[in-house]
Amino acid sequence: MSASAVDRDSVRGILLQLLAPVPEDAPPLCDTPVRGAPLLAIAGELVPSASGATFPVVDPATAEVVGEAADASLEDLDRAIGAARDAFDTSAWSSDSALRARCLRQLQDALREERETLRRDLVAEIGCAVRMTYGDQLDRPIEKLGFYADLAGSYAYGTRVGGGEEPEGNWFFREPIGVVAVITPWNIPTELNLAKVGAALAAGCPVVLKPSPLSPWSGAHLGRLVVERTDFPPGVFNVVTSTSNEVAAALTTDPRVDAVAFTGSTATGKKVMAAAAGTVKRVVLELGGKAATVVLDDADLDAVVPLAAAFVCFNAGQSCILPSRLLVPREHHDRCVELAAEGLASVPVGDPADPEVFMGPLISEDQRRRVEGYVERGRAEGARLVLGGGRREDLAPGYFFEPTLFAGVDSRSAIAQEEIFGPVLSVIAYEDEDDAVAIANDTVYGLAGYVWGSDLDRAVDVARRLRTGMVAVNGGSFIGAELPFGGRRQSGMGREWGVAGFEEFLDLKSVGIGFPQP
């Protein structure tokens, strides 16, 4: 099979199948008006910022302002943290697991009922393909929230060492850690907000959420629904949208905050960790990645490589788990480059409101310039630019970028080592299986990995050798409510989802109970 024989329509169809299908009765996105409002959620109320300040929300597909968000100050943050502290110290939230389960169910129901508004606002503020909102960008995280609602009510918070039900003896209890600051990015905001907020709330911890200023409505809607549609006690859940770096920094240093859960770049995560050290806060970090796809020499190259390559365009390449390195046997390097180019050329790029589009724009002009900078670095370092590398001027003024492919990439070069956060794929040749594993592991990151091969035992063995928190073999998925999500090394510490994600916000207490004295 020659590269020219790759059926781009077939690849395009399979790519769209990787995203959730749009229901036949789904209303057109344009029929739902944008609703995002410039309000904070503090102490059980929806309020403007104390100064009345707002900032614009820009649609990356059109570069047009589509609304406003409240621009919180340190004064607003102080009120939010104080409300959360009072809720932890005085309300029943930390002790009443049935209340927590009920309130989280109410929030889940409200999210389901308003999902079309949430869908419209999500596409408007981050430019994700609408098809993604029927999966990982919206509908799936809403359903996954039910896992934490169930866990809040069913988890065994106290366990007698050695078993048994007698009160006497040694016990350990898991108790909520306290007030949790949640700081989230813009790339998959609903998923990331609910992963952290859901776990902390289910564990009994009041939360102050600060979403990215590039996706403020995804957080603000959660605050609105909690206030309008649930029985959450005042102060248990607070949302402060802000463009101020001081506001984010204060969340990491305020002594009233007991833990910080952060998703973002590794560079910023290091700053969060250092700032939190002053008050010895618990820190949960989900940071960058530089995932590799290892295509073994027994894999069906014609079937695997085009799709494995095109996957870098998921969410316009703006996800920490995406495989931006494609490791292929040296003897098949040139053939794999041809197949990868066909796969990337098959990616439907365009208006994110179109259900037949797989890839929308980058989030901002700054992000597009960042990706352009890496393309220039790749060329300067000697990699061969095979496809793309520039703006989609036909889709201006949106922040669109071409699916981009480099071949002959040195595994130690910048484009092979650093997180680009755009639709840029590097093809890297390896000599043998040991060399492939060494190259895959040769970064500071350790978040995700991917392996393809016909011999399943061999593929799983390679997967076990990758020093990452998660690996997908032959198209398997490591995403799910019950599956812990997180990485090793400079990809972070701690986990989201699963029981492990819930327990990040619980502290252990050992209690020894003596026998009654005669």
- Known catalytic residues are 286, 320
Whether 37 and 48 have beta carbons less than 8 Å apart is answered as: no
Residues 212 and 144: their CA atoms lie apart, in Å, by 22
Residue 175 bridge partners (DSSP): 507
Under 8 Å CB-to-CB from 121, ≥6 apart: which residues?
34, 35, 36, 217, 218, 221
Count the Cβ atoms, other than its own, within 10 Å of residue 353. 17
Cα dihedral: 36, 370, 368, 444 (round 10): -70
Residue with token string 């909690």 = 226
Cα separation of 375 and 383, whole Å? 10
Q: Give the helix/strand (H/E) hosting 281.
A: none
Spatial distance between the Cα atoms of 473 and 434, rounded to a whole number of angstroms: 17
In sequence order, the 6+-apart residues with CB closer than 8 A to the CB of 173 are 157, 158, 159, 508, 509, 510, 511
Residue 170 CA to residue 207 CA, distance in Å, equals 32
115-121 contacts, C-beta under 8 A, 24 or more apart:
115/139, 115/142, 116/27, 116/32, 117/32, 117/35, 117/221, 118/190, 118/218, 118/221, 119/29, 119/32, 120/29, 120/32, 120/33, 120/34, 120/35, 121/34, 121/35, 121/36, 121/217, 121/218, 121/221
Classify residue 314 by its DSSP letter. G
Alpha-helical (H) ranges within 161-234 are: 189-203, 216-229
What do you get for the CA distance between the two ends of the chain, in Å? 87
Angle, helix 189-203 to helix 216-229, in steps of 10 degrees: 40
Under DSSP, the state recorded for 29 is G
Decide: helix, strand or coil at residue 325.
strand
Are 244 and 73 in contact by the 8 Å Cβ rule? The answer is: yes
